[in-house]
Each structure stands twice: as structure tokens, then as C-alpha cells.
Structure 1
Amino acid sequence: MTDSNGANVFHLAAHLNLARVFEFLRPETEYLTRARDLNGDLPLHIASKMGHVEHIEKLRKVSLLLNGQGQTVLHIAAKYGRVSVVRYILSNPDLGMLLNAQDNDGNTVLHLAAMHSQPAALIHLVRTDGIQLSVCNSECLFAVDIARRHRAKGYKIRHHLAFLALVCSLAGKGPLKSPELLLVRAEARNEELSVVRSLKSMPNRDIVKDYINSRMVVATLVATVSFAAGFAVPGGFNSSDTASKDDRGMATMLDNRMFQAFAICNTIAMFCSMTVVVNLIWAQIVDVDVAVAAFERTTLPLQIALPAMSTAFLTGVTLTIGKLPWLANTIFYLGLVFLLITSFAKLLEKPLLFKILGHPLRRLTFCLILAYIYLWRVETYIYDDDDAKDNRREKKTFASPPVDVAGESRTDDSAKANVRMRYILQVTDLN
């Protein structure tokens, strides 16, 4: 009988470590050990997956067939990190043909151990004579390439240990001198050579710590400034004396669009910089590889925090001097040019991006300068015209009072009232 997964009694015994059931392993029941469940596994593979060496010793004498994925018992042991099974197979000379066997995807035991980040199994495998480190799978990848990919994706220590186990074996045992390496494509060969070079030029912990401390200072400064700006907003807050009950403690410029942009940019700068600070604090208490990975992952939040802080400063200053339009426009457009320069500074480090973005950025900066000059001239003309009108109106009112029909000046009660008011103002100023 089989269960819903297609497993028979020996599958279940290998899974639950029921040694008593294997007393029924007789010639008339050996066919059950060669049956596959719905996953394609034999009882031998189930015992290897669970790490039961005594059951493997009984089942391997009956059948060493492959599972549905073309994997041997050593493949399964390396995949699930069963070190006891790996040691048992490696110590048995009769099972030496399993060392470099490949499954349906071309993966050897090293590929599967690297794919599932099993450093304990890898350490025993790479120290075994006869293991071939320069075997490629169907994707033309070495085991060290797979380990490098998983190391770049995760922070777990076992990912880094699996990668170091393979790299150290490449540097120590010298498989690069094997003629089999010449048969693979040039890209894969160059990648393997770069792995060994990276081992020789691993970053020094002191140098990495200096980089982390420098970035920590910048991120802490941005967080401090953003935090202070959040409680010292432009325009201040409504006091309890002048504001209504609902508006007490609220910002005086809350309905202004420029103030809303200031609040959003300041919040973005605050939390991005805090993210950088937390990651860098965590990076200082782990090994150097994790520290380098954490340092690289703080680049993007810091690149967002710096322009956001600059935008918050620009909007805040523009908001506070808004009653003087020519000065507000001068600061706004000047800050906008520098904001574009700082935002694209990281992208323009690469030559290709410099060729693509350099010319449009210069053109955009030139257009902004022309727009500012045009707006400045228009506003200057308007204010000059308004001042001239005010001056003419003053001259007409005070210097040349209107003449009546009879040709006499109007020195009536209104003129006397103006003289009296002027006298009162002078006395008030003296007092």
C-alpha cells in the first residue's frame, strides 16, 4: 500500500527512523525499495535527506538508482547538509563514482551544496581527493559562481562560509591548472580567475571601518539637521494667545504648498539618513564581508537623503523671503541648479552616463538661467513702473495741489486738516 504521496512502508520507515521495519527487507520485498514516490524519491533518498546512515547502509546494497531529478544519494546529502551521510559516502571506496556525478541539470554535489549554502558539507567535499571543482552545469556555471550569487543576495553567515570554502579550495588545491578548464567558455574561465584574485585582495577591516565611519558622520549630520528642522519650521507655530483653539501649536504656513514640500523633503531626508545610520551601526559588529555588503546597501538611501535635505533647505529659505520676489527667485533658481548638479553627480561618474546625461544637464542648466534672467527683468520692470506711478501720484498730491475753476488753489478745510495731522505726528515723534 502507498499513501497519498505515493510512499510505501520503506519510505515511511526511512523518514521516521523506524529500524524495526527494515527487518522486512527480504528478497521478496526488495522491489519496494526501488519504487519512487510522487516526488521521484526512493527510500534511499529519503534516508539520505533525514541523515539516517544505518538505513542507507541497508538500502544501498539493494539499489543505487537515481531519483526523478537524476540525483544520487550524495546529491541529496549535500543538498540538505547531512554531514554524517557525506562522511559515510566519502569514506566508502565503493561509492567513489558518486563524487562527480551530475543530475539532469548538470549539477554536481558541489553545485547543490553551494546552491543551498551548506558549508559543512562543502568543507568535507573539497578536501576529498578526486573531487573536480572545475565542472560546469547546464548554465555553464561553476559551484563557486553559484556560491557567489547567494553570497551577494543574503546576509547569513553560511552563505559567506560556503563561498569561502570553495574559494579557498580553488586557491589551495590548484584546479585552475587543470586542462579541463580550457574547455569551458572564456567568460566562465575569467570569472573563476577573478574569484581567486578577489581572495588575494580581500578588503582590510580597518579600511572598511574608516569608510563606514566617514559615511556614519555624514548620515548622522543629515539626521541631526533634519530632526532639528522638523521642530523649527519656517514661520514658526501659532501661539496660544493669537490662534484659535483648533490652530494652537500648528504651523503658521501649513496651507502653503512650499511649506508642504519642505515638510515632505525633510521627512524623507530624516528617515533615509536614519536607515543609513542603523545599517552602519550593525555593520560594525559583524565580519568584513557583511560590513562591505551593508556599506554598499547604504549608498542609495544616502543619495536620496542629501538631495532631499537640500530641497528642504531651498524651499524653506524661499518660503521665508517670499515677500521680496527678486531675492526669492534668485535663491530658488540658484539652488535648483546646484540641486541638479548634486543629484546627477553620482551618475556622471561613469563615462557612458556622462555622455548621455552631460549635454542635457548643461542645456537644462542654461535654460534655467535664461528663465531666471527673463523673470527677473519682467519683475524689475513691473516694480520700477509701480514705483514711478507712486512717485507721480505723490508729486501730484503734495507738490501741485489741484486748482479750482477760478484759478485759486484749494486751501480749504482738507488742506488745513493735513497740516494739522502733520503737526500732530511730529509732536508724537518728539514725545
Structure 2
Amino acid sequence: MTDSRGGNVFHLAAYTNQTKVFELLRPETEYLARARDMNGDLPIHVASKMGYVELIKKLHPISEFPNGRGQTVLHAAAKYGQASAVRYILRHPELRMLINDRDHAGNTALHLAAMHSQPAALIPLMLDKRIDLFVLNHECLTALDIAQDRIRREYTLRKQLAVMVLKSTSFGKGSAVSVDLLALRPEARDEALTIFDVHEKKPNMDHVKDAINTCLLVATLVATMTFAAGFAVPGGFNGSDTASKDDQGMATMLDKKLFQAFSICNTIAMFCSMIAVVNLIWAQQNNVYMAIAAYQHTILPLTIALPAMSAAFLTGVTLTVGKLPWLANTIFYMGLVFLLIISGAKLLEYPPVFRSHSRPIRRLIYWLVLAYFYLWKVETYLLDDSGDDGTVSGTSASLPPPNGAGESND
């Protein structure tokens, strides 16, 4: 007896996490645990999609077969962003060997996690030393190639986080197309490169202008506030009646290190924001490609200006309440946390900053990615399984979210 998806009682139990049902497993009923539903999935694949580690443990000894698309349980967990299941599989003495296995479309688990923009699942895969970052699928693409193509087609935070994770290692490629394509036969190379044609569709000038105007507003506000702060420094200035002739007009807290830090940060924020404003004025041209280039040149200055302005505020306020150590320390350390959040938010727009050889630094980067992933409640589930995992633009999935929520905003 099967349900509307062609699944048996074990498929349904795996979907609903009914562990007691699996107590019915006997030698004479094990064939049900190896049966495929209409999507080609075994019960263990359903459990992996849902992230039910306990069910994977129960089903693994009797159900090690791939699904109808040649995908293992690791493929299923990575595709659906089930980070806990991915971590369990990578630690399992037998299942961990699946890390670089390919499905019928040539995709590894890393390819599928990149294809469906699953940064939480990408992280444990990238941390595993056995992962092969340069595996090409049947479309001659690496996982990074796929992730970059997806974000080029449509930008979302989820896709940006996926690209950041894949670029976090210095072994990642700087271009959108794998260097390995150069070694392929010309017809395969040409076919693969067509999906990365940057002139495939002319950018919409209205959308570009909206982004430019938003950045121009932010840059102008930062420039205005830091300019004013430069002449209204903490503690004020020495007056003619209270200071020597040499100290007149000088800041009263000039010798304090926090004041010096305030001045440096404020100056950096001021000039970086002015650079951004000048670039964005050039971006008002009618030439859309010139506007995009000018906009891209403002990302780094504005990325520096916002954290620098925040640091100037933090040091200035800490300095003015210094007579109360408990209050000064509370403000300072609380501010450091928010400064990290602000810095990370801006650096998301500049992925090359996150490349590193150092494993501890990469772990810190991944922690930051997960913080944003859960802070902004980035959805991971997918709704249909009709897509082809062999295509870059595929969005395949088969199960609605366990909580019955609506469609992912991707």
C-alpha cells in the first residue's frame, strides 16, 4: 500500500519522524526500507532531507542504495540544507566516504548545496579536509561556478552567503568560470561558458539607479555626521580663559588614547564616505555600464566608512563616561559586539575579504555566516522535485517544510 507520492509506511514515518514505526523493521519487511517512491527516494533519503539523524542511524544498516537520481543520503542532506545531518554523515565511519560521490548528473554533495544556496550545509562540507573543490559535473562546472551563476542571475542574501562560504578558502577561483574548462574540448567549453555571458541581458537602468541613490544617501549622511563630529569632539576645546596660549583651541582630551582613536576613526569614515559620494556622482551617467562600474567602486569605501563611524562613536561615548568604569566597560564591550555585526554586514558585499589559508580564520568566517543565516531567518527548504539537478538553474526539492510554512523566498 502506497501514498500519493508512491511511498510506503516507512516513507511516511521518515517524513513525520515516527521512530516507533521503525520498530516494525524485520527481515521480512526490510524490502520496504529499500523501496523507492515516485521521486525515486528511499525512506533514508526522506529522513536525510528532513534532517532526522536518529532515523538515518536506524535505516543505514539496511538501506545504503542511492535514489533514482544516483544521489546518496549526503546529497539529500546537503541539497536541503540539513547541516546536522551533513555533520553526522561526515563523522560516520562508513557514510563519510560519500563526500565526493557524484550523482547521475555528475554533481557531488557540494554541487547540490551550492546549486540550492545552502550555506549552512556548505560549511561542514568545506571544513572537511577530504572535500574536492574542483570536481566538475557533467556541465563542466565546479560548485563555485554554480553559486556565482545563481547570484549573477538574481541577488539574495542566501546566495551571497553561499558564495562567501565557497570563496572563504584561497583555493577558490577568482573568476566565474573554472580554469579547468580550458582543458576541455572546445565544444564543451563553449557550451559551458554561454551561461556566464555577462551581456546576455542588459541591466535595468532603473534598478541600477535605485541602488546608486540608496548608497548615495547613506554616504552623504555618513559624511555629514563625521564632518560635524570633527568640530564637536568629546570634551570640547580649551578656551582662552582656562588654558595657556599654546593650548588654546586644542581639544581638552587630546592626550587620551581613546580620543586619538576617535579622531582617527572619524577621519577615516569622513574621507571614505566622501570618496563614495564622488564615485556615486559619476554613477549618475546615462551609461548603465559606467554607472555599474562607479557603483562597484563605492562598495569598499562605504564598507570601511560605516564600521569606522561606528568605532568613532563607540570610542567617543566611552571616553565621555570614563569616570564610571562599569558604565564605560559595559558600553565598550557591548559596542564591540555590534561593531562586529555592522562590519560583517558590510563585508558581505565584498567576498574577497573572506579568503584565507588559515583554518581558525575560516571557522570565524563560517560562524559569522551562520550568525547572519539565523539572524535573518534565511529559509532553506524547497518545494518541488521536478527540477533537474543537472542544470545550474534547477530548484528541485520534494517536501514542504515540516512546519507547513509557505514558499521559500530564496
TM-score, structure 1 length as denominator?
0.44
* Structure with the largest fraction of helix: 1
Pick the structure with greater CA Rg: 1
